[in-house]
Structure 1
Amino acid sequence: MSVTLISNNILQFNTNTLEDVRKEFNLHDPGMMEQTIDILYDWCQKQDHFVKKDFPRDYLERFIIYAKGSLEKAKLRIDRLCTMRTMAPNLFEKSNAKNDFPDLRDFYINVFMPKLTEDNYRIHVAKMMTKNITPSGFLKTYQHAAIMCEYITVYDYAQGFYSIMDLSDVNMADVLTNMNLADFRNNINLFTECYGFRIAGIFIISTSKMIDAFVKILKQIVSDKIAQRINVFKTVTSLHEFLPKELLPEDFGGDQKSLCELYDEMNEEMSTEKHVAHMKEMQLTCTNENLRQSGRFDEEYLGMPGSFKLLSVD
């Protein structure tokens, strides 16, 4: 059964997105994707430490796409995601983006832009909205991000992502002081190492002299490849040299709706009865570590919650 991409006001697709993305990873031949999903599905069924083994086929296909067609990477990321749910359950406690986070909009906005680039990359935007930075506020942003990651995995079909982090309106000293480094690491790993979203570039907007300390922390979390794709700008207009204006929000001089409008619309979509039910179902996709094959929980999981990999701040 083939995936059907349905454009809405939250996620829109190019005319040939499905075919073009599959072709990029040599999965476009008739029957090739179905065969690959079969292998991944059968593998999941054989994992004794998975509490829930039945993943939707469309869901598995996204893991294959984000792994560039590599079954081994897709397996590892599904395992990491299930492990993260077990070892950092506080990130996955919420299921309703609208009702569970009524005030988050005033603290932090996190959205994916509706339109894809011509080569099927999607733009992600995160913006700190307040100077009143608190540890509890950060935790809510990570919990909200977990709901968003699930939504993207269920409904999107992007080749990769560009991520914008707008920190221009906050005191970076307050950010660094109130940010729990373990939770921040887990949040970044959720995007890159668990769901496996392919990051083509990270654009940070800030004029703070302390932004270098934040970037140093971020580079310790992400891979060397992603670390080389981190750019720091002083103004949002600098983004126009790298990303099409017609795909950016009006807050950044673009043609799309404002971040607040996009956030509200996306929250509505992520709070439907269907998606809330999906979120609650996926809370079961954790692990029983007592049943994991010995020797499997090794250096692959360094950086996962519960490990002793430390981050250096200074």
Structure 2
Amino acid sequence: MVVLKDKILEFHPDTLYVARKDVNLDKEERIEEALDILEDWVKKQEHFVKKDFSRDYLERTLITAKGLVERAKVRIDKLCTFKTLMPDLYPSTVPKTDFEGLGKYLYHAHLPTLTKDHYRVYLLNIHSDDFSSSIVNTYYKYLVVISEYLKIHDYNCGFILTLDFRNINLLNLVAKCTPMELRQIVTLMTEGYSMRIKQIHIITPSKMVDALLALFRQVLSSKLAKRMILHKNLDTLYEYVPKNILPAEYDGTERSLKKLNEEYLSELSSDEFVKYFEEMYKANTDESCRQSDKFNEQYVGMPGSFRALSVD
């Protein structure tokens, strides 16, 4: 059995097997055949600027596409295209100083320990109201960088998002988050990076929570909107996310969220990862090489107001 290892992320002994079996990829020959098809397909896409994705990268894409080769092709195409369509959300490198500054307003991390069902828990804690729309945009960019890291380091069967808003004014948050940008980052995470979201937990005792839910319902699919679960305190959260995987601030046994936040930033700003991210930044599309009918068929009408392209 292959033992998965990472500097931050942890796995159960059978995570790789379960993640593959969950999408009918538990047979080695099936995986190899599918990856051969994907590699050959990528090389034939004239509008792809980068044509040499690693097999590890392709396998994780295949798993998040539920083992379906045709769906994996669409996901690869969308992610490359989104890098062209949404340049404002893509830093060309990893701006460590900018991301360090986020600590004044929030801490967040994908928690090291998986749930027993092999779900990865993402935890966001906003602890200051004194932020601007530009800080929100920087946070979105950081999510992009982290997503590129997870794309080559993580295996899971889905994500549980936990959003802790107990320490802020929800109306201030809603005012700083424009529906257009929020819709774009949600689309990028779900349709580009193929994040399979199982639950969305929102922690707040605020009576203004309806304004926040209204914002989220504008940008989430009806399926995802139904997966939102409200908590006034941590007591009910523990019914879904066990204490043993939560950080110390949440009465858990994991190292603090602040510490995890710092560890991720250190790893994401390492020379090795920065080099990789800068390479993947270039994995976009040259739309002059794509048939315009194919672009219109796949991307016109996508959620969000995307930047218009001139396609020959």
Partner of 2:148: 150
Match for 1:198: what amino acid? R
Partner of 2:223: 225
Count of residue correspondences: 306
- Counterpart CA distance in 2 for 1:217 and 1:187 is 14
Give, in angstroms, the shift of residue 197 of structure 1.
1.0
- Counterpart CA distance in 2 for 1:270 and 1:129 is 23
Partner of 2:5: 6
Partner of 2:40: 42
The runs of 5 or more residues in structure 1 that have no matched partner are 309-314
User: Contact 1:94/1:143 (CA < 8 Å) preserved in 2?
Assistant: no
- Counterpart CA distance in 2 for 1:261 and 1:240 is 21
1:46-74 Cα shifts (integer Å, max 9, x gaps): 21111112111101111111111112221
**TM-score, length basis structure 2:** 0.92
SS at match of 2:107: strand
Residues 1:303 and 2:303 are matched in the alignment: yes
- Cα RMSD over matched residues? 1.9
- Which deviates more, 70-79 or 54-63? 70-79
Residues 1:269 and 2:254 are matched in the alignment: no
Partner of 2:100: 102
Query: How do 1:194-233 and structure 2 match up within 5 A?
Result: 194-233=192-231
- Which deviates more, 266-275 or 99-108? 99-108
- Counterpart CA distance in 2 for 1:247 and 1:300 is 39
Partner of 2:59: 61
Partner of 1:166: 164
Give, in angstroms, the shift of residue 165 of structure 1.
0.9
- Which deviates more, 103-112 or 154-163? 103-112
- Counterpart CA distance in 2 for 1:167 and 1:299 is 39
Cα 1:263/1:52, change in 2 over 3 Å: same
User: Contact 2:48/2:286 (CA < 8 Å) preserved in 1?
Assistant: yes
Match for 1:223: what amino acid? S
Partner of 1:311: none
Give, in angstroms, the shift of residue 96 of structure 1.
2.4
Cα 1:70/1:217, change in 2 over 3 Å: farther
**TM-score, length basis structure 1:** 0.92
User: Contact 1:84/1:304 (CA < 8 Å) preserved in 2?
Assistant: no
- Counterpart CA distance in 1 for 2:108 and 2:51 is 30
Partner of 2:18: 20
Cα 1:48/1:31, change in 2 over 3 Å: same
- Counterpart CA distance in 2 for 1:3 and 1:272 is 26
- Counterpart CA distance in 2 for 1:3 and 1:72 is 27
User: Contact 2:10/2:114 (CA < 8 Å) preserved in 1?
Assistant: yes
Give, in angstroms, the shift of residue 14 of structure 1.
0.5
SS at match of 1:61: helix
SS at match of 1:241: coil
Cα 1:76/1:25, change in 2 over 3 Å: same
SS at match of 1:123: strand
Cα 1:94/1:141, change in 2 over 3 Å: farther
- Which deviates more, 212-221 or 153-162? 212-221
1:208-263 Cα shifts (integer Å, max 9, x gaps): 23322222222232222222111111112221011111111122222211110110
Cα 1:304/1:131, change in 2 over 3 Å: closer
Match for 1:68: what amino acid? K
- Counterpart CA distance in 1 for 2:93 and 2:23 is 32
1:100-146 Cα shifts (integer Å, max 9, x gaps): 42211111222100011122111011121211021111011011111
Match for 1:130: what amino acid? S
User: Contact 2:100/2:265 (CA < 8 Å) preserved in 1?
Assistant: no
Give, in angstroms, the shift of residue 305 of structure 1.
4.6
Cα 1:42/1:4, change in 2 over 3 Å: farther
- Counterpart CA distance in 1 for 2:221 and 2:175 is 24
Give, in angstroms, the shift of residue 97 of structure 1.
5.7
- Counterpart CA distance in 1 for 2:292 and 2:59 is 28
User: Contact 2:96/2:269 (CA < 8 Å) preserved in 1?
Assistant: yes
Q: Percent identity?
A: 37
Partner of 2:187: 189
- Which deviates more, 244-253 or 55-64? 244-253
- Which deviates more, 179-188 or 241-250? 179-188
Partner of 1:287: 285
Give, in angstroms, the shift of residue 156 of structure 1.
0.4
- Counterpart CA distance in 1 for 2:286 and 2:211 is 37
Give, in angstroms, the shift of residue 190 of structure 1.
1.9
SS at match of 2:293: coil
